[in-house]
Amino acid sequence: MKEIAAVIKEIESGRWDPSLVDLYGTAEGQRERYIALAKHFETIYQEKTAAFFSAPGRTEIGGNHTDHNHGRVLAAGIDLDTLAAAAPVEDPYISIRSEGYPEMKIDLSRLDPVPEERETAPAVVRGVVRGFVDRGYRVDGFKAVMTSRVLRGSGLSSSASFEVLLGTILSGLYNGGAVDLTEIAQTAQFAENVFYGKPCGLMDQMACAHAGLVAIDFADPERPRLERLQIRFDSLGYQLMVVNTRGDHADLSGHYADIPREMKAAAAVLGRQVLRDVTLEELHRRAGEVRKAAGDRAFLRAYHFIQENRRVEEQLAALEHDDFSRFLDLVNRSGRSSFQYLQNVFVAETPQTQEMAVGLAAAEALLEGRGAVRVHGGGFAGTILALVPMDASSRFEAGMNSLFGEGAVQPLIIRNRPAGPVGEAI
């Protein structure tokens, strides 16, 4: 904890600049953001001391919808983050003011799921706290003001960023910052699965917690294996971008939930709980059984999983051997598999609305056979991901903005610093 007045002076003097550059690639615009947050926290809660915490959003580069079936992914933390100023309180309440939202106040005397909170932010807060308690960590109340540049519905995991941020606050304020990042990610997933009610895998939370470009293997979800990659796309001549196709995310939870449900239904026909250990040969040999018991779409989604899981291995091998053209080809193949077999580019019930498909077609035309493009994250609506040659980035951005509106394109920088405290606030 540190005096807010002292923090503001340090930021103004440039003392925090190395930390800000490490997080965002530049301190410009971030100094003002941190100072505004500090002043807002002091005004709202009449507090003179605070600690600052940051959790990044994430981008998914390989492994579309594989984590929930114990697969492999290639993901990265990014420079867009959720930021908090926080301070402990003696009362058993967590009070949070998020920019653009009314204050949340959660009573920590009740740490079971509250049915009327389902699919709301208070459910997530309650779930993260319960997860910490179940793991034997100390918890208590705090007050916080938050601001986020991980836009909701952007496919960059604003929810996981928020969940991980809550975990880092509890770790920092009450556990000496000693809670393992993977445990924070698992607690965040628990909150989303059990309290919020969304059956997500662990990729989003792991990428937001650990940051960097990471390959994660979920063969054992309790002990996921994580490998950091020292790759910079900009040094290879490419800009990582996401394009918001402005699709409507309303009422899509059932479509997201259908993907792991159908994959596991296919696995069950083959005597497994998940698809991780099912081979392509076995799936084809027993295709008739899978189709009859689980349906054609379940078969196709299982086919996607097996091929996509293998593709992540191939992507890693391509990067290891400096074969970037092969890596780009695999990213494109991932996108085609998601469209053809996973079928998460548009909602079948509303075929007249296909913003993501339009975006993929336009991106392919603008890239002219260079770079790569694929569906990003959960799918059905939201964003697509592109690796764009630097010399084509301006034309690509202009073309996509003209299609989906100004600001639709968001260039991304991979953030290598994990979620946690910022500056010298603790």
The CA distance from 238 to 318, in Å, is 16
Mean pLDDT to the nearest integer, 92-110? 92
Contacts of 319 (CB under 8 A, 6+ apart): 229, 231, 327
Mean pLDDT to the nearest integer, 379-407? 95
Which one, of 195, 193, 249, lies nearest residue 221 by Cα?
193
pLDDT band at 426; cut points 50, 70, 90: very low
Contacts of 64 (CB under 8 A, 6+ apart): 304, 308, 334, 337, 338, 342, 344, 374, 375, 377, 379
Confidence (pLDDT) at 154: 59
Confidence (pLDDT) at 129: 97
The CA distance from 376 to 399, in Å, is 19
Q: Decide if 210 contacts 161 (C-beta within 8 A).
A: no
- Please check the confidence at residue 255 and state whether its pLDDT lies above 60: yes
Mean pLDDT to the nearest integer, 340-356? 94
Q: Which helix (H) or strand (E) holds 66?
A: none
Q: Decide if 93 contacts 49 (C-beta within 8 A).
A: no
CA angle (226 as vertex; 223, 231 as ends), nearest 5: 175
Confidence (pLDDT) at 424: 55
Amino acid type, 385: L
Range of weakest confidence among 98-107, 289-298, 316-325: 98-107
Confidence (pLDDT) at 252: 83
Q: Which domains does the chain have, with CATH numbers?
A: 2-230+417-421 (3.30.230.10), 234-412 (3.30.70.890)
Mean pLDDT to the nearest integer, 165-187? 97
Name the residue with tokens 């997530």: 124
Confidence (pLDDT) at 199: 81
Q: State phi, psi for 347 to the nearest 5 degrees.
A: -90, 125
Detail the DSSP E strand segments found in 48-129. Answer: 49-62, 72-88, 93-98, 104-107
Model confidence pLDDT, tens digit, residues 110-169: 999 999 999 899 999 999 999 999 999 999 999 999 999 986 765 677 889 999 999 999
- Please check the confidence at residue 425 and state whether its pLDDT lies above 80: no
Model confidence pLDDT, tens digit, residues 274-288: 999 999 999 999 999
Mean pLDDT to the nearest integer, 330-354? 95
CA of residue 228 relative to chain centroid, distance:
17
The CA distance from 73 to 258, in Å, is 20
Which tokens belong to 78?
A: 């990014």
DSSP SS3 for 146: strand
In DSSP notation, 316-357 reads HHHHHTT-HHHHHHHHHHHHHHIIIII--SS-TT-TT--HHH
Range of weakest confidence among 184-193, 241-250, 375-384, 410-419: 241-250
Contacts of 246 (CB under 8 A, 6+ apart): 355, 404, 405, 408
Query: What is the torsion angle, in degrees rounded to the nearest 10, for the CA atoms of residue 323, residue 329, residue 335 and residue 340?
Result: -140
Confidence (pLDDT) at 208: 96
Mean pLDDT to the nearest integer, 283-300? 98
Q: What percent of the chain has pLDDT over 70?
A: 97
Model confidence pLDDT, tens digit, residues 12-59: 999 999 999 999 999 999 999 999 999 999 999 999 999 999 999 999
Question: How many Cα atoms occupy the beta-carbon half-sphere of 225 within 13 Å?
Answer: 6
Contacts of 238 (CB under 8 A, 6+ apart): 371, 387, 388, 389, 390
Confidence (pLDDT) at 198: 85
- Please check the confidence at residue 386 and state whether its pLDDT lies above 60: yes
Mean pLDDT to the nearest integer, 343-360? 94
